[in-house]
Structure 1
Amino acid sequence: MTVLVAGHAVDDLYQGAVPAVVPFLVAERSYSYLAAAGITVAATLLSSVVQPLFGVLTDRRPMPWLVPVGMMVAGVGIGLCGLSDSYVVTWLAIALSGLGVAAYHPEAARLARRVARDGHVGMSWFALGGNAGFALGPVLVTPVLAIGGLSASPLLMIPALIGGFLTLAALRGVRGVDAVVARSGRDDWRQFGRLTVVVIARSMVTFGLGTFLAIWVSQRVGGFIAGSVALVVLFGVGALGTLLGGVLAERWGRIRVVRTSYVLGIPAVAGIALVPGPAVYVFVALTALTLYVPFSLHTTLGQDYLPNRLGTASGVTLGLAVSVGGLASPAIGAFASAVSLQWALLALLVLPLVAWVAARGLAEPVRCAL
């Protein structure tokens, strides 16, 4: 599990690396805003669409080798993105990274659930690894490219190559990892569909805040540092919330925790848009808890709703539904430009409301034995 958590961090580091690479592409190559947006879409769109397909493939035949290979491909793509002045080549390199991310998640989530012995806390640690890696992406990218420029981008491959080889070595020690696991129970697509609505709504509000929170707080409180602190609070408290979700689920049940989180998220998001001054940080922290406490529970619920298609369930809950939020960010930005950023943020409270309404129709599934 330690290797899987660390590997998840390394893999998702390359998702977080994309928005950090874009400013350097704009600065060195004079990309337009449209071209810059296209780079982000290359990673987000391809990963979100292809990830469920990898899930279907791993349901038919377990492919544990996709875990280290996907991780290394994600790193190689980011490493190659700075070597050519051609926009097409750069776009394809970023898309290759997104393909690696897509290949990694379904099989890694299946293995993590198995190694965690069906425990919620273990899966919370696995989810925490991904969240931490995403947040660390800019921490790795910014100093490397600031010092060496885009020509130094191959150095960004190093964590993926090291992590891939360590993961490969760890997988060799897992007995029967290639065996098809016997499962029982019927796939409940109706419940899984409701859960997908919940995850999409959560993803949209999370990406919306991640994109515009720093700008809003810097205006509200004053200064670039104030906005950066808001993001640190959002992702830092969110990481704690990810772990807390598994603990609460063991005691109170997943469905109750999910419903309670999203109903509390409605006033929390409203507070970000309405509360003046430094008190906004309190509501940023509350919002982080309400959005991240259910995060790992989505994956285990999806796997239990589709006990015969664990890869598909993981691909959707960790891939398609999550990445859709990134595609919605431009719409939120357009609304902010047309009205105001405050109203755009205030409108986000509709999304936890949608998640709560959808979650009210969820039932606790029978947990499958892995």
Structure 2
Amino acid sequence: MAVAKKMELKESKDENKPVYNILFIIGLCHLLNDSIQSIIPAMFPILEASMGLSFTQLGLIAFALNMVSSVMQPVVGLYTDKKPMPYALPIGLTSSLLGIIGLALSPSFTTILLSVIFIGLGSAIFHPEGSRVAYLAAGSKRGLAQSIYQVGGNTGSASAPLITAFILVPLGQFGAIWFTIIAAIAVAFLIYIAGWYSTRLAFMKESAAKNAKAAVKKGISKPVRNALLIIVFLVFARSWYGSAIGNFYTFYAMEKYGLSISQAQVYIFVFLVMGAVGTFGGGPLADKFGKKNVILYSLLLSAPLSLLLPFVNAFFSYIILSLIGLILMSSFSVTVVYAQELVPGKIGTMSGLTVGLAFGMGAIGSVALGFFIDVFGLSETMIAAAFLPILGILAALLPSDSLLEKWNAE
């Protein structure tokens, strides 16, 4: 009896220890995946100049990428919650590899859209399953684990300005072909991850089955539905503002400060790099101070800075953009963990919903903002977008972390 109890305690302790090698590898794969995605907005100035595309058409390209990803992510997550598919991860990156080849060789707006759909599909498969791997390897450090995973993606996204300055400006559209190497490396890493993931299937199925039965038994209560609705509004505010900066601030900086494409891309690089730092820091902060608090203050503290940004000079824009990226994105990974704990037993579904929703909202935002820029002007649209973080006040209505624990214990 004593030996059996010791073994149970050891297994329990092992389960609570983060598997850091897996977390760092899946974070690296997230970096490679999102580096591939970042090619698309990085190409906007190139495509606008070489093909004469309008801002609306550029918005539609972003819409095609993000909408495919956002629609498919919850579907993939829902399916793999029931039937986990470890080797879907390398298959998804293979789809992205095909999309890169098409993007580099596309002769028209239509073929660009088709290539982007392949990349979006690969991203839709990767994100919920990648988040599940991070969850399984997290142990008791879910906030930290999700931050390690998500910071990889944000770092990959931050590479867009560098891709534009050092690859696409000198090499043009065909320069995207070099990213087939990145895709191939990601596929190799994900084959290794899939092997580890397969060894955890038995534990995952047992745990998921218990949580799923509990979820079916309790159902989704009205307070949970209301909390999910608030999460939707918060993701909307963060994603639309992020879309305004990530997709169109380059043009704003070029127009307002008289900069070249490469010079203007530095602003986006600063915003995205500091966003990656904020994403990494948000998880440990949430583990210590609570997920709700991080979500609330990340948006509220960003609001005055976003309102100030359109009215400062070129130098102070660097400082304010870096602070906005640092603060605003600190809640990105935390939102995923909060949703997963809000509806336990639906790891992939909640990851697909929150991250996929961010892509979807960003997609709609890209089209809407592009249209508003064409109709009302660039400066006017960027000023209007600065009010979006104020919606973060809605986070005050979210259930507290202690209340979530109480619900999950019932």
TM-score of the two chains, using structure 2 as the length reference: 0.80
1:203·1:321 contact (CA, 8 Å) conserved in 2? yes
SS in 1 for 2:104: coil
- The 3 A distance-change label for structure 1 pair 169 and 293 is same
Partner of 2:264: 227
Does 2:37 align with 1:15? yes
Match of 1:258 among 277, 283, 295: 295
Equivalent of 1:129, from 115, 128, 152? Answer: 152
Structure 1 residue 19, shift from structure 2 partner: 2.1
Structure whose alpha-carbon radius of gyration is higher: 2
Query: 2: distance between equivalents of 1:37 and 1:28?
Result: 16
- Cα distance in 1 for partners of 2:239, 2:201 equals 32
Quote the offset at 1:141 in angstroms.
6.8
Amino acid at match of 2:250: A
Q: Which moved more, 1:26-35 or 1:60-69?
A: 26-35
Q: Kindly indicate whether residue 149 of structure 2 is the aligned counterpart of residue 113 of structure 1.
A: no
Q: Distance in 2 between matches of 1:89 and 1:266?
A: 39
Q: 2:245 maps to what in 1? A: 209
1:57 maps to 79
* CA 212–36 in structure 1, closer or farther in 2 if over 3 Å, else same: closer
Identity %: 28
**Cα gap change, 1:311/1:359 in structure 2, threshold over 3 Å: closer, same or farther?**
farther
Superposition RMSD in Å: 2.8
For the 8 Å contact 1:44–1:326, the answer to whether it is kept is yes
Q: TM (normalized to structure 1)? A: 0.88
Equivalent position amino acid for 1:308 in 2? G
Change (3 A) 1:63 1:337: same
* 1:98-124 C-alpha deviation (Å, 9 max, x unpaired): 111111111110111111224211211
TM-aligned CA distance change 1:35 to 1:282, over 3 Å: closer
**C-alpha deviation, 1:322, in angstroms:** 3.1
Q: CA 1:244 to 1:34, structure 2 compared with 1: closer, same or farther past 3 Å?
A: closer
For 2:301, what is the secondary structure of its paired residue?
helix
Structure 1 Cα separation of the partners of residues 108 and 266 of structure 2: 36
- Residue 124 of structure 2: aligned partner: 102
- C-alpha contact 2:104 2:176 (8 A) present in aligned 1: yes
Distance 2:270 2:169 in 1: 25
Residues 86 and 198 in structure 2, CA contact (< 8 A), matched pair in contact too:
no
The reply on whether 1:77 has 2:116 as its aligned counterpart is no
* Unaligned ranges ≥5, structure 1: none
Q: Structure 2: which 5+ residue stretches go unaligned?
A: 1-22
* Count of aligned residue pairs for this structure pair: 369
Partner of 2:18: none
Q: Which moved more, 1:353-362 or 1:250-259?
A: 353-362
Question: Could you tell me which of 298, 304, 308 is aligned with 2:345?
Answer: 308
For 2:326 and 2:199, how far apart are their aligned partners in 1?
A: 37
Asked if the contact 1:271–1:280 (Cα under 8 Å) also holds between the matched residues in 2, the reply is no
> 1:335/1:166 Cα in 2 relative to 1: closer, same or farther (>3 Å)?
closer
- Whether the 8 Å contact between 2:59 and 2:366 is mirrored in structure 1 is no
Cα 1:132–1:302, aligned 2, differ >3 Å: closer, same or farther?
same
CA 26–211 in structure 1, closer or farther in 2 if over 3 Å, else same: closer
Q: Is the deviation greater in 251-260 or in 116-125?
A: 116-125
What SS is found at the alignment partner of 1:173? helix
Counterparts in 2 of 1:181 and 1:190: CA distance versus 1, 3 Å: farther
**Bigger helix share:** 2
Q: How does 1:267-306 map to 2 (within 5 A)?
A: 267-276=304-313, 278-306=315-343
Over 3 Å counting, the alpha-carbon distance change for 1:150 and 1:335 in structure 2 is: closer
Contact 1:171 1:177 in 2 (8 A): no
- Which amino acid in structure 1 is aligned with residue 147 of structure 2? S
Distance 1:85 1:279, change over 3 A: closer
- Deviation string, structure 1 residues 69-127 (Cα, Å, up to 9, x no partner): 21221122112233353654443222111111111111110111111224211211111
